[in-house]
Chain A
Amino acid sequence: DAGVTQSPTHLIKTRGQQVTLRCSPKSGHDTVSWYQQALGQGPQFIFQYYEEEERQRGNFPDRFSGHQFPNYSSELNVNALLLGDSALYLCASSRTGTASEQYFGPGTRLTVT
């Protein structure tokens, strides 16, 4: 049973560029959440996707957008990258329902220079 997978593992981008990160959920899960973790801090919620729609969003600007596909996989897009966007981006999958456990992938380390 494969867990949550994310690609790529590492990414280096230049300020102003755009980036797309990908996530495949754990088998049997239909909900995908994205989190940003800056160095030395706890993860912060970006948004959550269910049934191909954004169901909930954290305090992040519109430069951060996402998509969920019919097979439940998801993408996170960030436009007009800033130096402050450098972080570990974590994808978590879960079954829909109240307070279901979220299982995390290994993350994508994004560095913006």
Chain B
Amino acid sequence: AQKVTQAQTEISVVEKEDVTLDCVYETRDTTYYLFWYKQPPSGELVFLIRRNSFDEQNEISGRYSWNFQKSTSSFNFTITASQVVDSAVYFCAPMDTGRRALTFGSGTRLQVQP
């Protein structure tokens, strides 16, 4: 059975610090997709990034960067120069090939202090 783990329950940083959110996805499937969503206090889930398990290249998109280590099934999501507006709950959500449903982790609450 698939298992997604976000071990960090809550992280607090000061504005302009870099912050990394961890996600581990255990599955027997060799091909899958992983999504990151942000849920601010308003409650609406916002799509951030989608990556494929077969693409090990790290990627940068604006202040967001992405590090995937296939050997440990670990997906790290980094926000550079954090801002107060980044305060939210961040969810890692894998999707196996052939399925169309997202499996959400328990989320990491990020608090960015001014």
Contacts and interface: CB of A to CB of B under 8 A. Distances in A.
Interface of A: 31, 33, 35, 41-45, 48, 55-56, 58, 88, 90, 92, 98-99, 101-107
Interface in B68-103: 91, 93, 95, 97, 99-103
B67 interface: no
A48 B44 CA distance: 19
B79 to A, nearest CB: 19
Interface of B: 33, 35, 37, 42-47, 50, 52, 91, 93, 95, 97, 99-107
B35 A43 contact: no
B8 to A, nearest CB: 14
A99 B91 CA distance: 17
B101 A101 contact: no
Contact of B45 (A44, A48, A90): A90
A32 to B, nearest CB: 11
Given A44-B104, A48-B101, A101-B50, 5 more contacts: A45-B102, A45-B103, A99-B50, A102-B35, A104-B45
Contacts of A105: 44
B69 to A, nearest CB: 20
Q: Interface SS of chain A: helix, strand, loop or mixed?
A: strand
B47 A101 contact: yes
A88 B101 CA distance: 18
Contacts of B47: 101-104
Nearest to A105: B44
Contacts of A99: 33, 50, 52, 95, 97, 100
Nearest to A100: B100
Contact of B43 (A45, A55, A58, A107): A107
B106 A55 contact: no
21 contacts: A41-B106, A42-B105, A42-B106, A43-B45, A43-B104, A45-B101, A45-B102, A45-B103, A48-B101, A56-B101, A92-B45, A98-B97, A99-B33, A99-B50, A99-B95, A102-B47, A102-B102, A104-B44, A104-B47, A106-B42, A106-B44
